[in-house]
Structure 1
């Protein structure tokens, strides 16, 4: 196991997952790719709309400098246009 993990440069968990998928579904279980994780937040339609808006802004303001998405994120946060996920405390409530 250690040799395989070192060779593929992954931890042991993906290798165990691949082995289980192979045992239960055969080769198709490995070739299906990643199935986990959260769903995408933006649909293709929303991404296309955002691209159109960006293109329109670029056409309207030809002298505007280019910028990264990270910088845009900072500017939007400064204007209150961000979402901060509420986190639950990991501390257990004291029993009294």
Structure 2
């Protein structure tokens, strides 16, 4: 089966930009592969150059013919599922806005409010709060040097 893609000038520009700037690596790879197909390279050569299987290149061309650019982007299913639900994050944000607490204190209050333990580490909760605009400072455990210096008479 021959794997040929005919690209218009506008599509070629779009695929070039997508192969450089898209946030998902697999989508960038697909766009680069389609550009190579449009320039007349063979599927096996493209697969070898991009480090994918030959079947992947055929799948990309089929998706392009069927659905266009949406066919390239719709297949991204990578990544781990979120451990914290939107409800848990919303409760944590409410608690964090109410008063200044440590991350451990916020985690304890979230667990108490939801009557269940957090399904993740406290650091994951901290990252979720950071994504929503909160920042944390490290607690200082030692006294300042100027306070511990001996004063000369």
TM-score by length of 2: 0.27
Question: What is the TM-score of this pair, normalised by structure 1?
Answer: 0.39
